[in-house]
Amino acid sequence: MVGQKLTSALAQIDWEANMKAFAQDSSQVDAIATANVRLAIWSRQFETHDKGTPALCFIREMQSTGHHVAALLSLALYKPAAAGMRAMMDTALYYTYFRYHTSELATLIRDPDFFVSKADVLEYHKQHTPDFAAVQTRLGLVSGLNKWYSFVSSVLHGQIPGKWSGHRSLVDIKYQKATLDAAAKTFAEGEGLVHKLFLCTAGRELWDAFPSPVKKHLISGLHGDVKAALGLDSA
């Protein structure tokens, strides 16, 4: 009986109407799609030029999670999308760390108590990734990442009750323009930070192997002095 009530409530949600309303919001759809395209470009480069690295599992998860965020936002499931956004960031961070720490990756899989935090990853890069401190400062990576991560975590964990959630019952789940705008903006900002992370770490290391059209796409919009500081060419 209880299960029937649940399925009945779910059946009353107009998922198709939510998706159609989302599809008509072209500016946000474009922003979400653009972010996922760049994640896909990075993913393809790492899959090709970092082939055989066990940590690539995190890149696959990152790209898949970006797809999940798009699907959740299209269905007006805004708060659940916050979990995908943070997973996108976590997996990107993990890739840049565990590609150098295969034994710790094995421990991560084997031992449920083993944990590497965002702070651990960033500290590793500060200590061991060439010029990381200088180049990340030019891009505003660490400060932006910490601020973004804190906000998304607060939404995800309910520290701001009601944030990205405008319904009291399942049947009330519906498209909300203001909430979609906020969520899409946050997703795009998060993808932008992932982009900067890769430019400062693994992407910078593997840059010479990337095809010229890919290089041009990935550094499009960067100021000349930033490109020079990163040492990234487009040829």
Per residue in 136-176, pLDDT (tens digit) is: 999 999 999 999 999 999 999 988 788 998 788 899 999 99
pLDDT at 201: 98
Rounded average pLDDT over 193-203: 98
pTM reported for the whole predicted model: 0.96
pLDDT at 231: 92
Rounded average pLDDT over 198-219: 97
pLDDT tens track for 114-143: 999 999 999 999 999 999 999 999 999 999
Residue 99 CB partners (closer than 8 Å, separation 6+)? 50, 53, 54, 55, 56, 202
Rounded average pLDDT over 190-204: 98
pLDDT at 211: 97
Q: With contact defined as beta carbons under 8 Å apart, do 50 and 56 qualify?
A: yes
133: left (phi over 0), alpha (psi -120 to 50) or beta: alpha
* Residue type, position 189, single letter: E
Residue 120, CB half-sphere, CA atoms under 13 Å: how many?
A: 11
Rounded average pLDDT over 51-71: 97
Q: Quote the mean pLDDT of the chain.
A: 95
* Residue type, position 46, single letter: F
pLDDT tens track for 62-116: 999 999 999 999 999 999 999 999 999 999 999 999 999 999 999 998 999 999 9
pLDDT at 167: 81
